[in-house]
Amino acid sequence: MRTTFRPLTIYAALFMIFLYGPVLMIPLFSFNDSLFATFPLRGLTFKHYGEMATNTGMLNALRNSIMVAVCSSIIATVIGLLAAIALTRNKLPGNTVILAAFSLPLIVPSIVFGVAILIITLQFLGISLSLWTVGAAHVFICIPFSITVLMSRLEGFDKSLEEASRDLGENAWMTFCRVTLPLALPGVISSLLLCFITSFDEFVLAFFLAGTDPTLPVYLFGQLRFPNKLPGMLALGTSILAFSTALVLLAEFFRKRGVESDMPGDA
């Protein structure tokens, strides 16, 4: 078959280069044996990656990010699963309005929520800034991702299986445990991974709410003020990029696996 290059194809290729080209420069310069990210490269070295293992401040920030991301992803997935079940299994009045309200964090800029949560936390609730405030804010922004993934999963399998379980005498809780949850498990895993990476990479809310315990993106931003820290931060950025990409691909694998398992003809 003869392949023709259309103008739209060329535009798409140029757009992808423009969008991801600068990002791909980060791994390249992370191996540069120089303090400055310039061409030509002075030499190739892995010492910047080795220095990461002895950087106490970075390791503490990494631990903070992992703790917040794990807790946020679990809580957001639980809330998202309950909300997805309610929205897909019941014809609630105002379903559209409820779903739109859950989707607000995807539309409203993070800096708006960051300022609003900061004011509420300090002036109205009198709570000191800490990883707890960061985690609460991250749950808020992760819920839309969880609901989106889980709703598509719950709408993708035969609901008559749940009806059959109830007809055979199981109550709602046992039907959920034995039928709904196993069928929704690929979506749950995908939701956990997406929420984890969303929380792990989030900067704006963490910048406003972290207090004296910075997360990894906040630590990375703070270190960029020092020119001699740039090579190490490029290595850190490369590690975060690789980790984030792997988790997104893994989440997509589980999401597609769950959809394909419901296709006619599967065993």
Structural domains of the chain, with CATH: 56-260 (1.10.3720.10)
Least confident of 12-21, 65-74, 134-143, 255-264: 255-264
Buried b (16+ CB within 10 A) or exposed e, 121-152: beeeeeeebebbbbbbbbbbbbbbbbbbbbbb
| Mean pLDDT value across residues 219-247 | 77
Peptide bond into 214 cis (omega under 30): no
Q: What's the whole-model pTM score?
A: 0.75
Cβ atoms of 217 and 203 closer than 8 Å: yes
Give the residue among 202, 201, 206, 195 at the shortest CA–CA distance from 241. 201
**The tokens of 185 are what?**
């498990």
Amino acid at 91: K
Cα 190 from Cα 254, distance rounded (Å): 6
Please check the confidence at residue 67 and state whether its pLDDT lies above 70: yes
Give the residue among 206, 205, 228 at the shortest CA–CA distance from 216. 206
Please check the confidence at residue 151 and state whether its pLDDT lies above 50: yes
pLDDT confidence of residue 251: 72
Measure the CA dihedral 140/145/147/153, to 10°. Answer: -160
Please check the confidence at residue 73 and state whether its pLDDT lies above 90: yes
